[in-house]
Structure 1
Amino acid sequence: MHVTKPAVPALTLLALTALAGCGGGGGATTAASTTVASPQGVYQGSFSTGGTHNTLVLENNQFYTLYGSTVAGAFTVEGFLQGNGQANGGSFTATDVRDATAAGQLLAGSLSASYTASNTLNGTLTEGSNTVTFTSSAVAASVYDYNAAANLNDIAGTWSMTSLRGYANTFSIAASGAFTATSGACTFSGSFKPRASGKNVFDVSMTFGPAPCILAGQTLAGIGIDFMLNNGKRQLLVAGLDANRSSSAAFFGAR
């Protein structure tokens, strides 16, 4: 999300604005130096610029924020934030935020927030000299149960997906989680693996084939999340970065 532009509806860190009918709860682990539990879980809220967001904080304090808009009941990804946070006594900070845009940019930023575990996450996002504030509250488990293990049966099969850059893709996901994908003459493959923590998140890896793939020969890693929409369809969201956090990709689709 460019903080210099009006914020668009956002999908927070593996959470989902489309989850306005679909996502999140939070686990709780005790920080060593405080009685305040970690911010782990899924939060939904708004930016001072007017946009909304959903944020997923994982058990290791890594987070993803997918932002975009809801079209025909499904979420359209327009970019995502990723960072590695530190939680301490109700304070959550990250100095290494990357903002992956639809134009292929990776903008550097930082985040400073306060939290009450599985309840609220409020703070500021800064990119250069531009800052936006945000407020959010935890998504009800009845909408998206973060504490339930991810289920490969829910995503196995064929998906018509759209990339962050706007290209159509077909994903074929096996029962094992291995997948192959095509976008025109570009082919790539990888895997979805239920997160070892038992949370409702897939660890995703993807390796792109040669040109004409935009990310020819590159391997990215990140997360995948799926959830039921109010219209009875299931949505799948995927976001990842390469090891140097200099290349990004995201995909979204519903079936």
Structure 2
Amino acid sequence: MSKRMIGVDVGGTFTDVFVLNETDGTATVAKVPTTRPDQSGGFLDGIGREVDDFSEVSVVVHGTTAGTNALLERKGAKTGVICTEGLRDVLEMRRRDRPRTWGLRGDFDPVVDRRNRLEVPERTLADGSIRTQVDLDAVRAAAKRLQDDGCEAVAILFANAYANPANEAAAVSVVREVWPNAHVSASHEILPEIREFERFSTTALNAYLQPEISGYLGRLESALRDGGFDGEFMIVQSNGGVMAVDTACQLPVRTALSGPA
């Protein structure tokens, strides 16, 4: 049986499909209109024009701007933040890139509304030592409040969690016990690096986009599996590499091929 590798690139107007027959080295292409708002329709239509039996496909590599578009159009999920006391406004204050250096006002709107950024008692110092143990009761209460306010995803953002993630990990464990879905992002898991704004903003964006992207990838993978596909489903990263999609939660979970930084 022939094995095929498929590459799919979804653009704003057209979806392009490239099919490589690994048996004889031949290739075919297809171009179909991109379907909006659900881009999975054009994706599946394009593949279906070139492949009748998905069981012949060994790998599907997908490039998409679904996440970028959701961010630019502000169509991500309603998201909450649980953070260290005093750091509620890091997402807005950023790194002093405001019109007036010493002013407190700018024209930047974070993806998480201020009313959904909640503080809890805890403090880890820059050297990794814990001055204040995290108040897990306060964490539970914050998670419940965010759920009651309709948040679909939550980001846990604690000071200096890159140096010692103990407080943040304890809070994440509690939140994941009570959160109704898998969309719980922790800064020490997403970007365990120094500088609060960079770590906080990256993690908040992960939480904001996760429900949208996981739903999109889930629909794609379910349709492929229903058609007999049992190979690898991979997503192109912005660094040029690809990563596999977890078949259980439809989220990118590991780097499969490194690309240039």
TM-score of the pair, normalised by structure 1 = 0.22
Higher relative contact order (CA 8 A, sep 6+): 2
TM-score of the pair, normalised by structure 2 = 0.22
Structure with greater strand share of residues? 1
